[in-house]
Amino acid sequence: MKREDVLLLLISLLFVQGYLFRNVFPALFASLILLYLTYLHLEFSPAIESERQIARKLKDAERVKTKLRLKNLSNKRLTLDIFELLPPGFNAETPALILLEGEEREVEYFITPVRGIFKLRNPTIRATDTRGLYYADFLPDSESKKEVEVYPNLDKIREESKAGETLQFTKAYSALFGIQTLELDTLREFQPGDEQRHIDWKATTRLGELIVKEFLKETKGDVYIVLDAGKEMRKGIKSSKIDFATTLTLQLAYALRKSRLGLIVYDDYGIKRIEAARTKGSEHVEQIARSLNIGTIPTTLMGLKLSLPEKGLRIKEESRAFISKILPIVKGRRSSATSLVEAVSSLPATAFLIFIADITTNTSELIKVLLDLRKRHEIILLSPNPILFYDADSPDRETLIWLYERYKEREEIIKKLNGIVPTFDLGYSDLLDTIRGGFG
Amino acid sequence: MIMIVIAVIAAAVGGLIAGLKVPLLFLPFLFFAKEKKKKDIFLLLFLLYALAIGYEFEIANIYSTDLPLVLCVVIPQLLLLDSGLKDEHPNFAKPKIIVISIISAFFFGWLVKEVFVGAVLIALAFEFSGENARRGIFAAVSSLALLIGALALAQGMLNLEGGAATQVVFIAAFSTLTALLFFRTSVDRQEFGAWITNKSKKR
């Protein structure tokens, strides 16, 4: 039922009432309402002109301001509702406004896009008369489409990479850092996330600030950190993945100082350093720290399986394959896969293994090694994600599309590896405190 | 909100002039519905109010009735309906002096009906001012003129003792036919009860 129908019903009822009750007044009243409706019906002829302004390059899941210039071409005041006809996954506000006769105004509202390249149509505008009885929809014409490119949002990718890892990491965390015992290890200042029941009230009263108890944790067997220090790990613009990996290794070493911890560092030339898991304690951690003196290779490339699209230099596929085979021999190095096999061959029969490695180079060899090792060892794989290390301020379109493709390719590898051992994609902020913070 | 206040006062005073109780009973609710911006509830209440007032106020013969009294009752209802439906724009604040003059004229009109009718007509003109209406005004005025002309022409046939039913049928038929002349254009109509189903927002 429409609002106008209510008035038409009233008119009919008044006529019937007048006839049945022999009363002319309802009929006169009904005639007057009918005249009023005729007036409104004839006077409703809205005309709207609209034009949208939106940036061509947008970021995934980031609210973007769109401007809509509206002009009321009719001689009546109109109430306008704006409805966006957007591709699936997009979200938009539905602003409403009143436009006076002949008025021109610019409306600003927000759209949240999703990844891809889309052609956005102008929104549908519903013009309603001031009495709210009639409306007219102004649909966008097919020529009004504007192309927008929605690029992956690096921040969102970082968040997505972290999501879903929590549960897996919780399992690995308890295995890695052990089960908490009742034996007191040390006292420290309260930090957000600490459990209330661990507060040492006596120490708190004495020192005047919140102090919590830290308990010793039990771990099973020896722990080995197997660190990839190959070329791919050492590439970087401002900071390389190896910088992050060494910091993380140190933090892990300190966290595991109560366990017997070993370290194996390998690169493209073979095993670089090896620290057997013989002793425990802070001195051993310092020894490990000395072993972690690994430099960065300054480069503009990131550690990804495929290089950036080349524009200038063109080499035939056969030549490229030949160079990739011959170059390591000329330079006196082997592939990192061979080094990896050599590195794991130095491991004891059983241990908890923490791999910190690049997963996009020699993936198949890495998978083979992990499949073999998981029969005897408990393993977790930590891999610094090169995309999360990308720190250019304003990447161009090609770079972003290329980054996104690499990101998707990497996701597939992560999925595959997760089927074998728990695998974690890490960014520059995922140092141990951050990771542990998630489990407090 | 000032126009609904004027309309409510006009309808109340008009009703009191004609000795009606229904306006006093319904007007607070109508005002409340308008204040809460519930157009559909306002329409529903107006439907009941119109039927009730049609039941209470009686005209047995249009040719022998007190025309100013009829206008005192009927014109404020139109003003009430329009101000109830129309969204007032804050930019169109009515000058206070005119508003006070109109309301004063209503109360003065309580004693002199013609003054009241004049004040209500001014208020009506005030309500429709600034709408730049041409076709609508032409249609409404010509339809009204045709109805009055037709009633005058058919006076000999309609002005009979107990001829109210015939007059009603004549008015109904004539008004409907005249309106049909202008209702040819197709317009999308707003949903009633959108506040329940929110249909008007659906695409």
Chain B residues with CB under 8 Å of A102 CB are none
Mean pLDDT, residues B176-200 taken together: 75
Tell me which of A22-26, A315-319, A369-373, A422-426 is least confident: A315-319
Interface-testing mutation among B190, B197, B201, with chain A (most A C-beta atoms within 10 A): B190
Residues 152-171 of chain B whose Cβ lies under 8 A from any Cβ of chain A: 162, 164-165, 167-169, 171
Q: Smallest CA–CA separation between B193 and chain A, in Å?
A: 8
Mean pLDDT, residues A324-349 taken together: 64
Return d(Cα B183, Cα B178) in angstroms, integer.
9
**Per-residue pLDDT tens over the stretch A243-293:** 778 877 887 877 777 778 888 888 877 777 777 777 777 777 777 777 776
Q: A235 versus A180: which is more confidently predicted?
A: A235
Chain A residues with CB under 8 Å of B189 CB are 2-5, 133-135
**Per-residue pLDDT tens over the stretch B133-181:** 788 888 889 999 999 999 999 888 888 877 889 999 999 999 999 988 8
Nearest CA in chain B to A74: B132
Q: Is A100 on the interface with B (CB under 8 A)?
A: yes
Q: Is B96 on the interface with A (CB under 8 A)?
A: no
pLDDT band at A28; cut points 50, 70, 90: very high
Would you say A384 and A125 are in contact if contact means Cβ atoms under 8 Å apart?
A: no
Would you say A2 and B27 are in contact if contact means Cβ atoms under 8 Å apart?
A: no
Select from 1.10.10, 3.40.50, 2.40.128, 1.20.120 the CATH code of A155-178+219-437.
Answer: 3.40.50
Q: Is A128 on the interface with B (CB under 8 A)?
A: yes
Contact B73 A25 (CB under 8 A): yes
Q: Is A346 on the interface with B (CB under 8 A)?
A: no
Please state, in angstroms and as integers, the Cα–Cα distance from residue A140 to each residue in A48, A59, A136, B34, B123, following that order. Answer: 11, 25, 13, 34, 40
pLDDT higher than threshold 90 for residue A227: no
pLDDT at residue number A164 = 46
Return d(Cα B10, Cα A420) in angstroms, integer.
84
pLDDT at residue number A77 = 86
Contact B189 A4 (CB under 8 A): yes
Which of A1, A34, A131 is facing B86, going by the closest CB pair?
A131
Q: Is B100 on the interface with A (CB under 8 A)?
A: no
State the DSSP string of A132-180: SSEEEEEPPPGGG-EEEEEE--HHHHHHHHHTTHHHHHHHHHHHHH-EE
Contact B65 A13 (CB under 8 A): no
Would you say A135 and B201 are in contact if contact means Cβ atoms under 8 Å apart?
A: no
For residue B7 the two structure tokens come to: 């309309």
Q: Is A190 on the interface with B (CB under 8 A)?
A: no
Contact A25 B175 (CB under 8 A): no
Mean pLDDT, residues B2-12 taken together: 91
pLDDT band at A357; cut points 50, 70, 90: confident
pLDDT at residue number B90 = 61
Tell me which of A128-137, A209-218, B107-116 is least confident: A209-218
Chain A residues with CB under 8 Å of B179 CB are 34-35, 37-38
Q: What are the structural domain ranges in chain A?
A: 3-43, 48-151, 155-178+219-437
Q: Is A312 on the interface with B (CB under 8 A)?
A: no
Return d(Cα A311, Cα A180) in angstroms, integer.
56
pLDDT higher than threshold 70 for residue A308: no
Please state, in angstroms and as integers, the Cα–Cα distance from residue A223 to each residue in A166, A176, A185, A294, A376, following that order. Answer: 22, 8, 20, 21, 13
Residues 101-130 of chain B whose Cβ lies under 8 A from any Cβ of chain A: none
pLDDT at residue number A176 = 59
pLDDT at residue number B203 = 40
pLDDT higher than threshold 70 for residue A116: yes
Q: Smallest CA–CA separation between B178 and chain A, in Å?
A: 9
pLDDT at residue number A154 = 60
Q: Smallest CA–CA separation between A104 and chain B, in Å?
A: 16
**Per-residue pLDDT tens over the stretch B11-52:** 999 999 999 999 999 999 999 999 888 889 999 999 999 999
Number of Cβ within 10 Å of residue A55's Cβ equals 13
Q: Is A78 on the interface with B (CB under 8 A)?
A: no
Mean pLDDT, residues A297-311 taken together: 42
For residue A144 the two structure tokens come to: 């009004």
Q: Is B77 on the interface with A (CB under 8 A)?
A: yes
Percent of chain A with pLDDT over 90: 7
Return the bridge partners of A108, or none. Answer: A67
**Per-residue pLDDT tens over the stretch B59-117:** 988 888 889 999 999 999 999 999 999 887 665 556 778 888 888 888 888 888 889 99
Residue appearing with tokens 């310092």: A286
pLDDT higher than threshold 80 for residue A239: no
pLDDT at residue number A438 = 41
**Per-residue pLDDT tens over the stretch A368-403:** 888 888 888 888 888 887 766 665 666 677 777 777
Q: Which of these, A385, A270, A389, A285, lies nearest to A339 by C-alpha position?
A: A270
Q: Is A35 on the interface with B (CB under 8 A)?
A: yes
Chain A residues with CB under 8 Å of B137 CB are 39
**Per-residue pLDDT tens over the stretch A75-98:** 888 888 888 888 888 888 888 888
Return the bridge partners of A136, or none. Answer: A127
Q: Is B186 on the interface with A (CB under 8 A)?
A: no
pLDDT at residue number B74 = 93
Interface-testing mutation among B20, B58, B128, B168, with chain A (most A C-beta atoms within 10 A): B168
Return d(Cα A76, Cα B172) in angstroms, integer.
31
For residue A173 the two structure tokens come to: 């965390």
Contact B190 A128 (CB under 8 A): yes
Return d(Cα A352, Cα A279) in angstroms, integer.
15
Q: Is A236 on the interface with B (CB under 8 A)?
A: no
pLDDT higher than threshold 60 for residue A314: no
pLDDT band at B199; cut points 50, 70, 90: very low
Contact B55 A21 (CB under 8 A): yes
pLDDT at residue number A311 = 43
Contact B192 A42 (CB under 8 A): no
Nearest CA in chain B to A129: B86
Q: B194 versus A326: which is more confidently predicted?
A: B194
Q: A364 versus A180: which is more confidently predicted?
A: A364
Contact A27 B168 (CB under 8 A): yes
Percent of chain A with pLDDT over 70: 74
Q: Smallest CA–CA separation between A71 and chain B, in Å?
A: 17
Does the ipTM exceed 0.85?
yes
As a whole number, the mean pLDDT across chain A is 76
The architecture (CATH level 2) of A48-151 comes to Sandwich (2.60)
pLDDT at residue number A202 = 86
pLDDT at residue number A296 = 46
Mean pLDDT, residues A172-181 taken together: 58
pLDDT higher than threshold 90 for residue A175: no
Chain A residues with CB under 8 Å of B135 CB are 42-43
Which of A32, A34, A134 is facing B190, going by the closest CB pair?
A134
Q: A167 versus A352: which is more confidently predicted?
A: A352
**Termini Cα distance of chain A:** 58
pLDDT at residue number B89 = 65
Mean pLDDT, residues A407-426 taken together: 83
pLDDT band at A140; cut points 50, 70, 90: confident
Q: Which of these, B7, B144, B40, lies nearest to A5 by C-alpha position?
A: B40
